[in-house]
Amino acid sequence: MTSGRRPLREARVAPPRANLEFSYNWSRGFLHLFFGGLNPDTWLLIPESLKEVLIIGGGFSGLAAGVALSDGDRRVRLLEQKPHLGGRARSFLDRTSGAVVDNGQHILMGCYHATIGLLTTLGTLGRVRFQPRLALHFLDRDGRATALEARDLPSPWHVLLGVLASGSFDFMEKLEVLRLGGRLGWSKAPPRDAERLSVREWLTQLGQSEALQRNFWDLLCIAALNEDPSIASAALFQRVLRLALFSSPADSRLGIPSVGLSEVYADAAAAYIRARGGQVECGQGVDGLWVSGGECRGVRLTGGEQMEADVVLSAVPWFQLAAVLPGELLRREPFFAAAVSLRPAPIISLNLWFDRPITDLDFAGLRGGTLQWMFNKGKILGSGGNYVSLVLSGAHRHIALTKEELLAAALAELGDFFPEAKTARLLHSLVLKERFATFSPSAEVEELRPQARTPLGGFYLAGDWTATGLPATIESAVQSGYTAARAILEDTGGQ
Ligand SMILES: Cc1cc2nc3c(=O)[nH]c(=O)nc-3n(C[C@H](O)[C@H](O)[C@H](O)COP(=O)(O)OP(=O)(O)OC[C@H]3O[C@@H](n4cnc5c(N)ncnc54)[C@H](O)[C@@H]3O)c2cc1C
């Protein structure tokens, strides 16, 4: 079946609360008429002049684009292949524990300006708890606890004075951090010395000692870039350090969702789009683009149906894009061939439920082991359960291990950091492997990342992996969604 262009389109929308609801949006100048009580279908009448944008993918990038396009008077139709929204940032109910579990712990930062804007629009920003000031706790394998706490001072002093007062570093290490921090914090121009270097090469060139790299910079690099410092791009790491640590005290704060990830944005974004006449459909996989006369005319669904649209925006990850693109286009167009050649970096999360608390900390960096970060999920979610989540990012060397092997290795190490874990009984565990968590941000990657506008007319790209200049993060995904939406509005005569 082909959904053709009709004078007035029919779209199924969520049933309105009142039987007849009437609203006039003066700012946009079009009439919304919601007729209730037409069970089972409720019809929304939208003028033909609104252009339809079909979005493939219901992660952060697709939903952010959908929100922006809905605000820009575009009729949005978002198709998600899975039965749920959220993509690589989602939560689900673990029936055994009764807890809401994320596919992996996600941290936001004060420098996530686009994301904070999106959550403000959705009214869900309060579901992320931001620190008043940056504070990082570290645990050594002998159980020694230290902290790095930013001071109430302008940047870069807030971090640099925090380093000076921290017990996480010895005297020489403090000087090394200050040297590097001062260089990034005061120089406005990005240093050109790091362009083709890995993080390891750059830090070593700057005289950062092996111990400081292992116990501090490596933890930050892997957390921010999801890649081993010997592979990760030094230029990208510098950019992240500048944005996160040396822009302003507010930008340096960490934000941790206090509810399941999907509740932070996915449901609210879908409701936002629907309330503006758009459609968000789960379980609706796109099999391929419908290309005719050198232009993208719509998509072909996995069920065989063809769906027409004025514009198609792909918000799928690079590793799923090739399945959607026509093979001939992929072969002919270096733009697309480069984009799909990115390599993945995995993340492993070990969710553990104990019979008693093993720590009071909200979260901590684990120094000197295989595990990198611990999040006290029972405390963070306020569920009261003794539930912790352990994170192993850039997990190339561990992804092939079985879940049982991973669990055994984690438990063997955990007692060194948390003495209580030696006697606590493990009640339940859930090991989650995300093989394609992010793209691997090596030094060569920036030139492979594509812009929102593509060589195929009517077809645009969004996703954390597109050319945002950021690592694969929520902020990159949201920025990419907004950038693509802006390009579509400009190209199709919008604001
Ligand atoms: C374990 C883990 C931990 C992370 N931690 C952090 C963190 O602490 N901080 C941070 O900022 N970021 C973190 N990230 C990264 C962050 O989750 C991603 O950058 C972000 O979610 C990517 O969003 P996206 O919209 O670009 O892609 P996705 O979330 O992958 O969304 C793409 C969607 O497209 C759908 N799709 C694909 N193909 C089709 C098709 N043919 N038809 C229809 N739909 C399709 C997919 O099912 C998916 O839902 C983490 C990621 C993981 C996996």
Where do the domains of the chain lie? 2-87+261-341+444-491, 132-252, 344-439
Q: What are phi and psi of 420, to 5 degrees?
A: -60, -25
Share of the chain above pLDDT 90, in %: 82
Q: According to the model, what pLDDT value does residue 26 have? A: 28
Nearest residue by C-alpha to atom 31 in ligand 1: 59
Strand partners, 428: 353
Q: According to the model, what pLDDT value does residue 202 have? A: 94
Q: According to the model, what pLDDT value does residue 425 have? A: 97
Task: For residue 40, say if its preceding peptide bond is cis, omega within 30 degrees of 0.
Answer: yes
Other beta carbons within 10 angstroms of residue 51's beta carbon come to 18
Q: Please check the confidence at residue 283 and state whether its pLDDT lies above 70.
A: yes
Whole-angstrom distance, CA of residue 147 vs CA of residue 389 = 20
Nearest atom within ligand 1 for CA of residue 112: 11
Nearest atom within ligand 1 for CA of residue 109: 11
Nearest residue by C-alpha to atom 41 in ligand 1: 286
Q: According to the model, what pLDDT value does residue 350 have? A: 98
DSSP letter at 453? Answer: B
Strand order across the beta sheet in which 20-25 lies:
8-12, 43-47, 30-35, 20-25
Q: According to the model, what pLDDT value does residue 220 have? A: 95
pLDDT band at 28 (very low <50, low <70, confident <90, very high): very low
Is the separation of the CB atoms in 393 and 357 below 8 Å? Answer: no
254-280: average pLDDT: 97
Nearest atom within ligand 1 for CA of residue 63: 25
Is the separation of the CB atoms in 442 and 232 below 8 Å? Answer: yes
Task: For residue 156, say if its preceding peptide bond is cis, omega within 30 degrees of 0.
Answer: yes
What is the helix (H) or strand (E) element at residue 378, kind and residue range? Answer: helix 377-381
Greater confidence (176 vs 42) lies with: 176
What DSSP assignment string belongs to 251-297?
HH-EEEESS-HHHHHHHHHHHHHHHTT-EEEES--EEEEEEETTEEE
Whole-angstrom distance, CA of residue 228 vs CA of residue 443 = 12
Q: How far is the CA of 347 from the centre of ligand 1 (A)?
A: 12
Q: According to the model, what pLDDT value does residue 17 have? A: 28
pLDDT band at 301 (very low <50, low <70, confident <90, very high): very high
Q: How far is the CA of 148 from the centre of ligand 1 (A)?
A: 30
Q: How far is the CA of 446 from the centre of ligand 1 (A)?
A: 19
Rg (CA), the chain: 24
What is the helix (H) or strand (E) element at residue 320, kind and residue range? Answer: helix 318-321
Tell me if 431 CB under 6 Å of ligand 1: no
What is the helix (H) or strand (E) element at residue 60, kind and residue range? Answer: helix 60-71
Q: According to the model, what pLDDT value does residue 1 have? A: 36
Tell me if 79 CB under 6 Å of ligand 1: yes
User: Strands, DSSP E only, in 94-150?
Assistant: 100-102, 108-109, 128-130, 135-140, 145-149
Nearest atom within ligand 1 for CA of residue 349: 1
Greater confidence (460 vs 192) lies with: 460
Q: Please check the confidence at residue 11 and state whether its pLDDT lies above 80.
A: no
Tens digit of each residue's pLDDT (9 = 90 or more) over 432-479: 999 999 999 999 999 999 999 999 999 999 999 999 999 999 999 999
Tell me if 346 CB under 6 Å of ligand 1: no
225-246: average pLDDT: 94
Nearest residue by C-alpha to atom 36 in ligand 1: 57
Tell me if 450 CB under 6 Å of ligand 1: no
pLDDT band at 361 (very low <50, low <70, confident <90, very high): very high
Nearest atom within ligand 1 for CA of residue 324: 41
CATH code, 2-87+261-341+444-491: 3.50.50.60
The first and second tokens of residue 55, run together, are 């979005």
Whole-angstrom distance, CA of residue 89 vs CA of residue 260 = 10
Pick from 374, 473, 482 the residue to mutate for probing ligand 1's pocket: most ligand atoms within 8 Å of its CB: 473
Q: Please check the confidence at residue 23 and state whether its pLDDT lies above 90.
A: no
Q: Please check the confidence at residue 322 and state whether its pLDDT lies above 80.
A: yes
Q: According to the model, what pLDDT value does residue 200 have? A: 96
Nearest residue by C-alpha to atom 34 in ligand 1: 57
Q: How far is the CA of 60 from the centre of ligand 1 (A)?
A: 7
Q: Which of 29-33, 188-192, 402-406, 432-436 has the lowest mean pLDDT?
A: 29-33
Whole-angstrom distance, CA of residue 274 vs CA of residue 75 = 10
CATH of 344-439, one of 3.30.70.580, 3.90.660.10, 3.30.2310.20, 3.10.450.50: 3.90.660.10
Q: Please check the confidence at residue 35 and state whether its pLDDT lies above 70.
A: no
Tell me if 433 CB under 6 Å of ligand 1: no
Nearest residue by C-alpha to atom 35 in ligand 1: 57
Whole-angstrom distance, CA of residue 370 vs CA of residue 289 = 43
